[in-house]
Structure 1
Amino acid sequence: MAVIVFEHASWQAVLLCLLFAVIYVGSLYVWAGSTEKNRDHPDVIRKRFVSITVVSVVVPVLVWLAGRSSESKQAHTLWEWLGLRFLGFLPAFIIPLILTMVLFMGPLALHYMDGIFRLYLEPRYWVNCIKNMIWVRNHIVAPFSEEFIFRACMLPLLVPAIGESAAMILCPLFFGVAHFHHLIERIIHEQCEIKQAVQKSMFQFFYTTVFGIYSAFLFLRTGHLIAPVIAHAFCNHMGFPAFNEVMGYPQTIRRRLAMFFVLGLVLWIMVLFPLTYPALYANDVYVL
């Protein structure tokens, strides 16, 4: 495959990324009666799987069309720009997962205290998960499709236009704003008051944007799509840290759990850059 570069003004790159976000979210609502059923309804999930599959084919084509053939050192194949490479794949799969688990040391300690870890040793648990369409959506389809569109397809356009650091901050905003479509579902299906629905959506915007920055960082440092995908899947599994659960334990245990929360954050900060050193992943595409 020919190597390409992306040379756009910053406003052009931003508009293209906005187009990708609109296409992604819009595809969820193209079906007749798409707002009549809850997002967890099997029919809705199946139809959205189809939509996302189509979008995941169309958007990379648009990315390719936005590129220009070049023989410069900054040129790479479309697959390399999208983070779809074999070289460095294994460390990109394992190390970011370990890194994210370090960050979630506190919630993982809570899981241990609650006995949830025992479930993971049961083969039937995983069989039931694969059969559950909501689980498949949250742990496979959503992490892959969202990271593919909002990271792998956007960052190749943004990085040459505004630089790695600025792109790492701007790109997650599209991701965070895209989640505002849940506002409609909260009002229609969850019967939330408008004020409460807006508050929930604002909170979701905040933490999805923060995660998006981390995810974009992983993509740029490793040059692999699998790195943010696996981190995204793990975060979806863990959910937002349940800090309030800590207060339900005796004081001695609360102190230990609090220590794990703090220790996880401190260790994550310490090892974040060493464990994402680009050379570990044969990353010569992005140089953040």
Structure 2
Amino acid sequence: MWLEASSAGALLGCASLATIFVGSLYLAPASVRHRGHDDEVQIKWRFRSTAITCILSPLALLFWKVSPEDGNYGSTGPSLFHWIGVRTAGLVDATILPLSLVIVLFTGPLVDMYLIFRRARATGQIEKFTFDQFFPNCPENPVVQIRNLIAAPFAEELVFRCCMGALLKAANWRHAFIIGFAPLFFGVAHLHHCHGMIKEGMPVKRAIIISLVQMTYTTLFGALEMFFFLRTGHLISVFLIHSWCNLLGLPPLGFLGKTHPNHEHAAFIIFGYISGIFIFVMGLGPLTSPELYKNQIYS
């Protein structure tokens, strides 16, 4: 099938998808809404509401479906699954290459974490390697792990990258504009966390500042993710990158402080940051070439 949308229609569609995605999280009964962000009851309720959103959002694209007789389109075309990046062509490359690039980008933080882990092993604080001890941003609660590393990355990439990318592509937006504009929906969608922080007792001013900072870096992250999606045309690539970034979190810069145990290795860690960024930038173009991923819709 083919999709065709006006610029206004695509923008309205994107705004509606973002509103539905965030709004569905607040449809829970009061007994659930009043629980904390990491409370298992609330998380499991949101799993269900988000699952419904993930089903309805791709189906909403059918509103912009074009019949062959309505334009210069053949009787066949990409399926709805292809539009949202669920396809087999180029799947292996899409699973490995983009994630590998982003792992290399995190060379500095990985070196920093390894040095901390090695010191903990040497002092007897840790006896053996465990996933959550090496990755300090990994939550201990399995339900929270599923939310942070699987459910949230999948749902957000499906709605904010795949569905919105399809809509804006259907409106014939240039890739540069899609990458620059669409992530604003993703960034603004995170402002609702401000309400939750205030509800849990955080001072209003602090909650607003944290929310604005979060909106900024999620918008920038969304732009990078949209770039990967438009280049690969695969949901799996952006899902894995999102999950990895949730696991690592923002790059820790505490080693720059003189009291930090890794400060003596600061030059080595900084070299890791610089080399990781350099390799990432050099490999970004060739390793995201649409030809590698048989990407014909978004190329």
Does TM-score exceed 0.5, indicating one fold?
yes
1:59 paired with 2:57, answer yes
1:168 paired with 2:179, answer yes
Give the distance between the partners of 1:173 and 1:278, measured in 2 at CA. 25
Give the distance between the partners of 2:158 and 2:262, measured in 1 at CA. 43
Tell me the CA shift for residue 119 of structure 1. Answer: 1.9
Counterpart of 1:62 in structure 2: which amino acid? A
Unmatched tracts of structure 1, length 5 or more: none
Task: Provide the residue aligned with 2:124 in structure 1.
Answer: none
Task: Provide the residue aligned with 2:18 in structure 1.
Answer: 21
Does 128-137 or 57-66 show the bigger shift? 128-137
Give the distance between the partners of 1:59 and 1:113, measured in 2 at CA. 43
Task: Provide the residue aligned with 1:237 in structure 2.
Answer: 247
Does 243-252 or 273-282 show the bigger shift? 243-252
Contact 1:246–1:257 (Cα < 8 Å) also in 2: no
Q: Which of 269, 282, 291 does residue 257 from structure 1 map onto?
A: 269
SS at match of 2:51: helix
Give the distance between the partners of 2:27 and 2:53, measured in 1 at CA. 12
Task: Provide the residue aligned with 1:95 in structure 2.
Answer: 97
Give the 3 Å change call, closer, same or farther, for CA 243–43 of structure 1 in structure 2. same
Counterpart of 2:158 in structure 1: which amino acid? F
Tell me the CA shift for residue 32 of structure 1. Answer: 1.1
Unmatched tracts of structure 2, length 5 or more: 119-127
Query: Any idea what the Cα deviations from partners look like across 1:143-184, whole Å, max 9, x if unmatched?
Result: 000000101111111123222221111111111110011000
Tell me the CA shift for residue 69 of structure 1. Answer: 2.7
Give the distance between the partners of 1:139 and 1:271, measured in 2 at CA. 25
Give the distance between the partners of 1:97 and 1:246, measured in 2 at CA. 27
Give the distance between the partners of 1:265 and 1:10, measured in 2 at CA. 35
Give the distance between the partners of 2:129 and 2:267, measured in 1 at CA. 24
Give the distance between the partners of 2:13 and 2:19, measured in 1 at CA. 10
Give the 3 Å change call, closer, same or farther, for CA 93–250 of structure 1 in structure 2. closer
Give the distance between the partners of 1:193 and 1:73, measured in 2 at CA. 58
Does 232-241 or 261-270 show the bigger shift? 261-270
Counterpart of 1:11 in structure 2: which amino acid? A
Q: TM-score scaled by structure 1?
A: 0.91
Query: Any idea what the Cα deviations from partners look like across 1:54-100, whole Å, max 9, x if unmatched?
Result: 11111111112222133349942111111000111111011111010
1:270 paired with 2:282, answer yes
Does 230-239 or 159-168 show the bigger shift? 159-168
1:177 paired with 2:188, answer yes
Give the distance between the partners of 1:253 and 1:186, measured in 2 at CA. 36
Question: Among the aligned pairs, what percent are the same residue?
Answer: 34
Q: Which of 3, 6, 11 does residue 9 from structure 1 map onto?
A: 6
Give the distance between the partners of 2:5 and 2:62, measured in 1 at CA. 13
Q: TM-score scaled by structure 2?
A: 0.88
RMSD between aligned residues: 2.2
Contact 2:33–2:42 (Cα < 8 Å) also in 1: no
Give the distance between the partners of 2:283 and 2:12, measured in 1 at CA. 35
Contact 2:97–2:287 (Cα < 8 Å) also in 1: yes
Tell me the CA shift for residue 118 of structure 1. Answer: 2.6
Give the distance between the partners of 1:208 and 1:149, measured in 2 at CA. 15
Give the distance between the partners of 1:242 and 1:99, measured in 2 at CA. 19
Counterpart of 2:15 in structure 1: which amino acid? L
Trace 1:1-288 onto structure 2 (pairs within 5 A): 3-4=1-2, 6-33=3-30, 34-70=32-68, 71-72=73-74, 75-115=77-117, 118-120=129-131, 132-161=142-171, 162-189=173-200, 191-247=201-257, 248-249=260-261, 252-287=264-299
Give the distance between the partners of 2:57 and 2:132, measured in 1 at CA. 39
Contact 1:129–1:136 (Cα < 8 Å) also in 2: no
Count, aligned residues: 279
Give the distance between the partners of 2:98 and 2:292, measured in 1 at CA. 12
Give the 3 Å change call, closer, same or farther, for CA 253–36 of structure 1 in structure 2. same
Counterpart of 2:112 in structure 1: which amino acid? L
SS at match of 1:8: coil
Counterpart of 2:223 in structure 1: which amino acid? I
Contact 1:35–1:185 (Cα < 8 Å) also in 2: no
